[in-house]
Amino acid sequence: MSNDEVREIVTLGTTGRLSRREVIARLAMLGLSTSAMASALAGAGLQPVRAAMSGRRGDNGVLKLLYWQAPTIVNPHLSQGVKDYHASRVCLEPLLTVNAAGVFTPVLASEVPSRSNGGLSADGKSVTYKLKPGIKWGDGRPFTAADVVFTYQFVINKESGATTYAAFATIDKVEAPDPSTVKITFKAPTPAWYLPFVGSNGMILPKHALESYVGSNARNAPFNLKSFGTGPYKVESFRPGDLVVYSINEFYRDPNKPAFQQVQIKGGGDATSAARAVLETGEYDYAWNLQVEWPVLEAMTKAGKGVVITEGGGGVEQIYINQTDPNKEVDGQRASIKTPHSFLTDLKVRQAFGLAVDRETIAKQLYGLEGDATPNVLTTPSKLNSKNTKSVFDIAKANQLLDEAGWQKGPDGIRQKGGVKLQVTYVTSVNTLRQKEQQIVKDGWGKVGIAVTLQSVDAGVFFSSSPGNNDTAAHFYRDVQMFTNTFTSPFPANYMRQYYSGDPAKDIAQKENNWSGDNYIRWVNKEYNQMYDQALVELDPTKNDALWIKMNDLVVSQAVSLPLISRRIVSTRAKSLNVAENLSPFDSETRNIADWRRTG
């Protein structure tokens, strides 16, 4: 950068050939600091930079986000992980967004459909969206209902291999009666009309960019690496696995937004050092998803450069109790539905396991602001968090229950009955936080005479869907296992399916379905199944909510899963960065990046 260049730009500004905003933008591109810019502008008699921060497009320079998992693709429907949704959401938008409480806000739709505005049909089979007028794609083409219809066709084509497929699977057809109206018809009456086209799963794709890339060709589209949308930014350059650079979408609907001239998402590394780059060194403005032990994170905040931000709804860390016997093999599989577990099928035993778990200690010592002790398996959205349950840590009561069930302490302190010892293997993924949780739980169980063997499996293996591996969570060849399931829609059906067995038990993970069933604990409960089936079609929102709460209460009272921690979404931002209310479990953290701005 030379002084001549600066002078030339400033002269263009003073002579009116460039607007003040353009002058600032060009100076920013030269790498001038805010104070240097201010003096250059003041010297030329132009308004200083400070005043410009009141909300003009592109005045805030460069925004740097750090993701310890790097984005690999910027087409949300072909996403390989949450980070890809976030990287895509900077450019692309859904019809509606949802906050943690489950409240909808229109994005590309002009209003939230309801019975009263005629958006929702009385039979629950269709929903009609009115689109905001005058919206344009990043390349200047108009956004219309045809794009919404196209997005559906793109995702629903199995050959496309879309990861968002499930959110659209309930749809019968999507039509565009006119360019600003979209009508979605479902196969059956469905209370969850907001599954498709809303939040993370619902980003709308530009038809003209992807038209010839539907189906098996979908992965070859240039758009996947250089996406643009109706959102505030478009991808300028993309290095998969490393860096996404975004520039302003000049066609964005709000002329004063976004505030940043350029956005960068840098990826790679690990969560702890990502937190450090924001909290301790201030190199970055924002870091996402910091599953770091709370004491470590808290210590970093003392440097005073950044703050930790959290929001409820990251899922529930829970201990799942196997209802089948992992030690017996029938028809080439262990933990078969044909062999019930020798003692974990006993309600009193399971309850004793639950009573001996010290949730408060786990919450306080390991999670801090990152999670709360919870008695519920379903805590999100907040209106579905049951108030009928409470978490109790009571060793005496646990002992009493085991006594009642006929389990006597042997000479080695381990309870036994009829030659069977009360010993379990307890597995989770490799993660320092989880291994510490295991220790606390093992300690409690040891106090009531339960012998525990701890195991940990690499997360890549534990969470893989590979049918050939016996160490996956779906195989569940152990007695108890612990992990967190998260979900991305305020309708918890997919999440609650983990306790649903179907009839006959086809949703149980087993050899017959290549362990693709969602019910890993292999629990079969008719009452639960009935309520679940009913909730899928119950159109009255109040009754529907009540059903989910009752299902939660049933799982909790039956102690087939022991909820420990209601996890929160955790990120960090620089003190000088205002991100408004960006966190939501049902949409990406970058959902309102148009509103982010620097305050200091």
Partner 1 sequence: MTAYIARRLLASVPTLVLISMVVFGILALAPGDPLGQLAANPDVPPEVRLNIRHQLGLDEPIPIRYMKWASAFARGNWGYSFGSHMEASRLILQRLPTDLWVVGAAYLVAVFLAIPIGVLSAVKQYSVFDQISTTLAFIGFSLPTFFTGVLLIIIFSVRLHWLPFIFNVQVTDPVGMLKQAVMPVAVLALFQSAGLMRFVRSSMLDNVSQDYVRTARAKGLREGVVIIRHVLRNGLIPVVTLLALGLPAVFTGAVVTEQIFRVPGIGSLLIAGIQNNDTPVVMAITFLYAILVVFFNLIADVIYGVLDPRIKYG
CA 486 centroid distance within chain:
6
Stretches 112-120, 204-212, 480-488, 564-572: which one binds partner 1 (CB under 8 A)?
Answer: 480-488
Taking CB under 8 A as the criterion, which residues in 161-190 touch partner 1? 161-167
The residues, any chain, with a CB within 8 Å of residue 127's CB and separated by 6 or more, are 113, 119, 120, 121, 183, 184, 186, 193
Check: CB of residue 496 under 8 Å from CB of residue 487. Answer: no
The correct pick among 8, 159, 250, 527 for binding partner 1 (CB under 8 A) is: 159
Rank residues 44 and 243 by Cβ distance to partner 1 and give the closer one: 243
Site string for partner 1, 38-77 (x = CB under 8 A): ----------------------------x--xx-xx----
Type of residue at 199 = G
Residue 82 makes contact with partner 1 by CB under 8 A:
yes
Rank residues 365 and 466 by Cβ distance to partner 1 and give the closer one: 466
Taking CB under 8 A as the criterion, which residues in 413-442 touch partner 1? none
Residue 456 makes contact with partner 1 by CB under 8 A:
no
Q: How many residues bind partner 1 (CB under 8 A)?
A: 76
| Cα 528 to Cα 550: distance, rounded to the nearest angstrom | 9
Taking CB under 8 A as the criterion, which residues in 83-142 touch partner 1? 83
Q: What is the maximal distance between C-alpha atoms in the chain?
A: 95
Instruction: Tell me the closest approach of the beta carbon of residue 417 to partner 1, in angstroms.
Output: 35
Stretches 248-256, 328-336, 344-352, 510-518: which one binds partner 1 (CB under 8 A)?
Answer: 510-518
Check: CB of residue 554 under 8 Å from CB of residue 377. Answer: no
**CA distances to 88, 153, 488 from 157, in Å:** 20, 6, 21
Cis bond before residue 106 (omega within 30° of 0)? no
The residues, any chain, with a CB within 8 Å of residue 462's CB and separated by 6 or more, are 427, 428, 429, 430, 471, 472, 473, 483
Q: What is the 3-state secondary structure (H, E, C) of 358-379?
A: CHHHHHHHHHHHHEEECCCCCC
Residue 576 makes contact with partner 1 by CB under 8 A:
no
Site string for partner 1, 539-558 (x = CB under 8 A): --------------------
Residue 596 makes contact with partner 1 by CB under 8 A:
no
Instruction: Tell me the closest approach of the beta carbon of residue 536 to partner 1, in angstroms.
Output: 14
Residue 465 makes contact with partner 1 by CB under 8 A:
yes
Check: CB of residue 237 under 8 Å from CB of residue 245. Answer: yes
Taking CB under 8 A as the criterion, which residues in 243-302 touch partner 1? 243, 245, 264, 266-269, 273, 276-277, 280-281, 283-284
Angle at 84 between CA 92 and CA 301, to 5 degrees: 105
Torsion of CA 463, 467, 471, 472, to 10 degrees: 20
Give the E-state strand segments of 232-294 in sequence order.
233-239, 243-248, 262-267, 286-287
Residue 31 makes contact with partner 1 by CB under 8 A:
yes
Rank residues 48 and 269 by Cβ distance to partner 1 and give the closer one: 269
| Cα 386 to Cα 492: distance, rounded to the nearest angstrom | 14
Only one residue has tokens 């805030």, namely 60
If one counts every other C-beta atom within 10 angstroms of the C-beta of residue 53, the result is 16
Instruction: Tell me the closest approach of the beta carbon of residue 485 to partner 1, in angstroms.
Output: 5
Rank residues 284 and 445 by Cβ distance to partner 1 and give the closer one: 284
The correct pick among 298, 346, 403, 471 for binding partner 1 (CB under 8 A) is: 471
Instruction: Tell me the closest approach of the beta carbon of residue 132 to partner 1, in angstroms.
Output: 26
CA 225 centroid distance within chain:
22
Rank residues 158 and 543 by Cβ distance to partner 1 and give the closer one: 158
The correct pick among 80, 114, 117, 408 for binding partner 1 (CB under 8 A) is: 80
The correct pick among 179, 240, 340, 446 for binding partner 1 (CB under 8 A) is: 240
Rank residues 70 and 427 by Cβ distance to partner 1 and give the closer one: 70
Site string for partner 1, 211-230 (x = CB under 8 A): -----x--xx---xx-----
Residue 494 makes contact with partner 1 by CB under 8 A:
yes
Taking CB under 8 A as the criterion, which residues in 309-328 touch partner 1? 315
DSSP labels, 65-79: EEESS----S-GGG-
Please list the residues that pair with 451 across neighbouring strands.
Answer: 423
Residue 502 makes contact with partner 1 by CB under 8 A:
no
DSSP 3-state of 274: helix
Rank residues 22 and 471 by Cβ distance to partner 1 and give the closer one: 471
Instruction: Tell me the closest approach of the beta carbon of residue 169 to partner 1, in angstroms.
Output: 9
Instruction: Tell me the closest approach of the beta carbon of residue 318 to partner 1, in angstroms.
Output: 12
Rank residues 212 and 388 by Cβ distance to partner 1 and give the closer one: 212
The correct pick among 383, 417, 497, 598 for binding partner 1 (CB under 8 A) is: 497
Torsion of CA 256, 258, 260, 264, to 10 degrees: -170
Instruction: Tell me the closest approach of the beta carbon of residue 255 to partner 1, in angstroms.
Output: 27
The correct pick among 97, 289, 323, 472 for binding partner 1 (CB under 8 A) is: 472
If one counts every other C-beta atom within 10 angstroms of the C-beta of residue 251, the result is 17
| Cα 546 to Cα 571: distance, rounded to the nearest angstrom | 32
